[in-house]
Chains A and B, each alone.
Chain A
Amino acid sequence: QVQLQESGPGLVKPSGTLSLTCIVSGGSISRTNWWSWVRQTPEKELEWIGEISHSGTTNYNPSLKSRVTISVDKSKNQFSLRLSSVTAADTALYYCARVIPSVAVGHIDLWGRGTLVTVSS
């Protein structure tokens, strides 16, 4: 069965760039799904960061769009998140997820376990 595993540094300095990778195992990233990043703040609010299709089409949260890049590497069966110019407000538990697309908003049928990223000097 398909599993998702986030990886990346748990500590990032302010003004630096947060980089995370989601490894997709047990299935191909090239199927007709979208792949997403969601974060949970210390206040437990969930925030959608963005998503990417297997062909590389992206949608981003407008509030983060200027700082976010999501990419897919089909050869490695993984997708990645880069968030630049981070501040303490970007401290969160970051989840990667698989989205089943739909005309009227896709749903997430598979989540990773999440990885905590702290922004601090």
Chain B
Amino acid sequence: QSVLTQPPSVSGAPGQRVTISCTGSSSNIGAGYDVHWYQHLPGTAPKLLIYGNTNRPSGVPDRFSGSKSGTSASLAITGLQVEDEADYFCQSYDSSLFVVLFGGGTKLTVL
């Protein structure tokens, strides 16, 4: 059971908006540690989507955005495209476990 909780799956139609949540606690996200997001297509290297809660690396479309509030963070994807179908992971740090954490991952299906 991951300390950072993500929904196992989300889905949306092309063009729609979806959000993926990453829920933590007062010893990780709530303690002020940054949240990062990655996109992972099986068989390929994971790709950084969002770092430092809200920042997009160059080359990542502005359809992807991140936010953080309290003990949770969210990844929003607008204008869904078929190629967005992938697994998405959040990452942070836990100060009571002294460990870098990943969320359990969310599989996005584009209907």
A104 to B28, CA, bound (A): 10
Q: Write the nearest CB–CB distance from A87 to chain B, whole angstroms.
A: 20
Q: What does the 1/0 interface line of A82-116 toward B look like (CB < 8 Å)?
A: 00000000000001000010101101111111100
Q: Write the nearest CB–CB distance from B47 to chain A, whole angstroms.
A: 8
Q: Write the nearest CB–CB distance from A59 to chain B, whole angstroms.
A: 8
CB neighbours (8 Å) of A48 from chain B are: 99-102
Stretch binding the partner chain, chosen from A8-16, A23-31, A39-47, A68-76:
A39-47
- Count CB-based A-B contacts (< 8 Å): 62
A47 to B36, CA, bound (A): 15
Is A107's CB under 8 angstroms from B51's CB?
Answer: yes
The reply on A66 being an interface residue by CB < 8 A is no
Taking A105-B34, A107-B36 as contacts, is the C-beta distance between A113 and B45 under 8 angstroms? Answer: yes
Taking A62-B97, A62-B99 as contacts, is the C-beta distance between A108 and B105 under 8 angstroms? Answer: no
Contact among B2, B34, B45, B105 with A107 in the assembled complex (CB-CB below 8 Å)? B34
Is B99's CB under 8 angstroms from A102's CB?
Answer: no
The reply on B61 being an interface residue by CB < 8 A is no
Chain B residues in contact with chain A, CB under 8 A?
2, 32-34, 36, 38, 44-48, 51-52, 57, 87, 89, 91-93, 97-102, 104-105
Q: List 17 A-B contacts (CB under 8 A).
A: A44-B87, A45-B105, A46-B91, A46-B105, A51-B100, A95-B45, A102-B34, A104-B34, A105-B36, A107-B34, A107-B48, A107-B52, A107-B91, A108-B36, A108-B38, A108-B48, A111-B46
